[in-house]
Amino acid sequence: MFETYYPILFLILFAVFLALVMAGASILIGKRTRLGKKGNPYECGIDPVGTTRDPVPVKFFLIAISFILFDIEVIFLLPWAVVARDLGMFGFVSILIFVTLVMIGYFYELGRGALKWD
Amino acid sequence: MLEMIVASSIKVIIVMLAVLTGCAYATYMERKVVAFMQHRIGPSYAGPYGLLQPIADAIKMAFKEDVVPDKVERITYALAPIASFVPSLLVFAVVPFSADFTLVGRQVTGVISDLNIGILFVFAITSLGVYGIVLAGWSSGSKYSLMGGIRSSAQMISYEISYGLSIVGVILIANTLSLRQLVEQQDTILHWYIWKQPLGFLLYLTCAIAETNRLPFDLPEAESELVGGYHTEYSSFRFAMFFIGEYANMIAVSCVGTTLFFGGWQGPFLPAGLSVIWFVIKVFCFMFFYIWLRATFPRFRYDQLMNFGWKVLFPLAVVNLLVTGLIVLW
Amino acid sequence: MTIDAVIFVISAVVAIFGAAMMIAQRNPVASVLYLILSLIAQAVIYVQLGALFVGIMLVIVYAGAIMVLFLFVIMLLNLRGSEELGKPSGRVSRFTKYVITLLFFVELIFVIRGVALPPAPELVTNQPDAFGSVKAVSMLLFTKYLYPFQLTGVLMLIAVVGAVVIARREHPGELPDDTAAESTLAETPKEGTKA
């Protein structure tokens, strides 16, 4: 068990180490100056107008919720793909019922314009 | 035990160095290829044919000032580049690079970790990739970052579903979750899964481009409207980390695509120890295609992008999977 | 201690630390991040126990999907740092969350003690058909637990309908064009194009 997972563990640690070295490098090497309005958010040279705390439109929330649901659909299709041959047509019919149920939801969303962008 | 630890650590370091070098030279390749496609020369001053350009870029980046704007949420701001960089490297843990070979009397496997659920691992890491972008956008305290971050993350999660479905199609045919077995099944060119999953491959390709935020789907970086997107407020090497992460992601999806559809390291003429060359050639073709797309297509509008993902790709992916299932079981 | 035990202890400590910090944080985004940390540590424990499928699902569904929704909701409600949540009103309310958590924890201990736990399975083998492997879980899902599985489909259908209805009710009118929360995010920012 450890033989299989050790390389992944080491890879994670190595990647994090690399990331920290990179993030640290410019802090150590790069010069630092603090002049005037350098700390302002980027705005093409003029003073920033308005707030950066615009609320996110509801449709992004709907996208996120649709993503969860259809992602779970993918997650349930995965085990079916693994055992599809063992289950045969019975498995196909049951997954077909499942997919149909979820796709009814998808078409409902389409019909109500929840996935519409313009 | 100790031998295993030393051996696999060395392998990890070699692969990581290769990937990072690959990222650096992917930027060079991109600039050169796009330049030739536009009848320009591209980078040509640093070294012969400008070959040292990526190194010069890296040194320049490191010596730049790391400007941290006043309004940022400091901890999250520092975390975002790391959260973007690390997952992009993790995919390489399960990608089989070459056949098993013997090196000075020692058996070497051509993959860092031969996980029997390799594809699921790829999928899990891909799903974590969105955090770097959301956090960078949110913590920067800048309008452009926030817009870029939210748009970009919505784009990534929208295309992730079709991405997953296109991979499930291959699993269905191959009947395995191990990337190594997938490659072993595609031993000749006629057994490549692209012939059995042509639509699945097109779906994979499209979603992979959208997942890595590349043209024509590079909405997060739509310069004309968002300045730099989610990494507008980053500078110096922390900016470079987003950049490297993006290129590492490109290489990663190319590697996974090669493994799933083009037989990975399988190829004629070469002994097992050199089979990595076939792998590199195939990945190179993928990368070239990416750059070719960039030089050819204009950018999508955001509404086109989202509508395309949800109304075309997703139903197509579901139908593709069900039809594949029906054919396999027939 | 074997290496497996060391890894288990580390991931268990990280999982509990992440969960505790999630409650203790006043910054909602930091809370989400600690929860992700906790989930990943839990996934490591699942993988160690041989439940590969469950571990990976925990990462894909919870850490990869549901936490993204949480972040979106935080942005939707526009919760920034602690300053907008206001100061805790008093010493009592500040400790309420810890007291409630502790009570739940004690209850959990009693519940766990009351259950006769089966002996721990063999630590994970990288075999395709072992207990907890994808294949084993899949077979169970499509045979013994077929009806719950189909009910999940119904549940997901209801969830989709619910999400659409809620989003529609809060913002009357055609979805999602003229929602009240409409902002510059979805359209081209004018300032940027002019510059």
pLDDT of B229-253, one tens digit each? 787 778 778 888 888 888 999 999 9
Give the per-residue pLDDT at B57. Answer: 86
Give the per-residue pLDDT at C132. Answer: 64
Percent of chain C scored above 70 by pLDDT?
Answer: 68
Contact yes or no for A84 and B328 at CB 8 A: yes
Contact yes or no for C72 and A79 at CB 8 A: no
What are the helix (H) ranges across chain B? 2-37, 53-63, 74-90, 118-128, 130-139, 143-174, 179-185, 193-196, 198-211, 223-226, 236-261, 276-296, 302-307, 314-329
Give the per-residue pLDDT at C188. Answer: 41
Residue B237 placed within a domain = yes
Give the per-residue pLDDT at A88. Answer: 83
Those of residues 286-315 in B touching chain A at CB distance below 8 A are: 302-303, 306-307, 310-311, 314-315
Those of residues 174-233 in B touching chain A at CB distance below 8 A are: 175, 177, 227-228, 232-233
Contact C176, A113 (CB under 8 A): yes
Identify which of C54, C20, C13, C45 has the alpha carbon closest to the alpha carbon of residue C34.
C20
Those of residues 260-299 in B touching chain C at CB distance below 8 A are: none
Q: How many domains does chain B have?
A: 1
Q: Provide the terminal-to-terminal Cα distance of chain B, rounded to the nearest Å.
A: 47
Compute the nearest-CA separation of A99 from chain B (Å): 8
What interface predicted TM-score (ipTM) does this complex get? 0.86
Query: Which residue type sits at B262?
Result: F
Residue A31 placed within a domain = yes
Which residues, listed in sequence order, are joined to residue B103 by a DSSP beta bridge? B106
Residue A100 in this model has a pLDDT that exceeds 50: yes
Contact yes or no for B123 and C60 at CB 8 A: yes
Residue A80 with chain B: CB contacts under 8 Å: 325
Give the per-residue pLDDT at C113. Answer: 83
Report the distance separating Cα B236 and Cα B69, nearest Å. 13
Residue A50 placed within a domain = yes
| Residue B205's pLDDT band (cuts 50, 70, 90) | very high
pLDDT of B250-286, one tens digit each? 999 999 999 999 888 888 877 777 888 889 999 999 9
Q: Where are the beta strands (DSSP E) in chain B?
A: 101-103, 106-108
Listed in sequence order, the residues at least 6 apart from A14 whose beta carbon sits closer than 8 Å to its beta carbon are B12, B13, B16
What is the DSSP annotation of C54-110? Answer: HHHHIIIIIIIIIHHHHHHHHHHTT--SGGGG-----HHHHHHHHHHHHHHHHHHHH
Q: How many domains does chain A have?
A: 1
Q: What is the mean pLDDT of residues B201-210?
A: 91
Report the distance separating Cα B225 and Cα C193, nearest Å. 5
pLDDT of C151-169, one tens digit each? 988 998 998 888 888 877 6
**What's this model's pTM, rounded to 2 decimal places?**
0.85
Residue B205 placed within a domain = yes
Contact yes or no for A65 and C163 at CB 8 A: yes
Residue B226 placed within a domain = yes
pLDDT of B42-75, one tens digit each? 888 888 888 888 888 888 887 777 777 777 778 8
CATH of the domain at A65: 1.20.58
Residue A81 in this model has a pLDDT that exceeds 60: yes
Give the per-residue pLDDT at C177. Answer: 44
Give the per-residue pLDDT at C130. Answer: 61
Residue B22 placed within a domain = no
Residue B159 placed within a domain = yes
Residue A11 with chain B: CB contacts under 8 Å: 12, 16, 89-90, 92-93, 112-113
Residue showing tokens 């992917």 = B26
pLDDT of C16-66, one tens digit each? 999 988 888 778 888 889 999 999 999 988 888 878 888 888 898 888 888
**Residue numbers of the domain that contains B134:** 70-329
Residue A6 placed within a domain = yes
Residue A118 placed within a domain = no
Residue B34 placed within a domain = no
Contact B257, B205 (CB under 8 A): yes
What is the DSSP annotation of B251-280? Answer: HHHHHHHHHHHS-TT--SS--GGGTHHHHH
Residue B120 placed within a domain = yes
Give the per-residue pLDDT at C175. Answer: 44
Establish if B73 touches chain C: CB-CB under 8 angstroms: yes
Cβ pairs A/C, distance under 8 A: 170
Establish if C183 touches chain B: CB-CB under 8 angstroms: no
In order of A57, B47, B160, B196, B283, the CA distances from C77 in angstroms are: 10, 53, 25, 46, 43
**Residue numbers of the domain that contains A41:** 2-112
Residue showing tokens 């959990």 = C108
In order of A33, B18, B249, B308, the CA distances from B263 in angstroms are: 53, 21, 20, 29
Residue B242 placed within a domain = yes
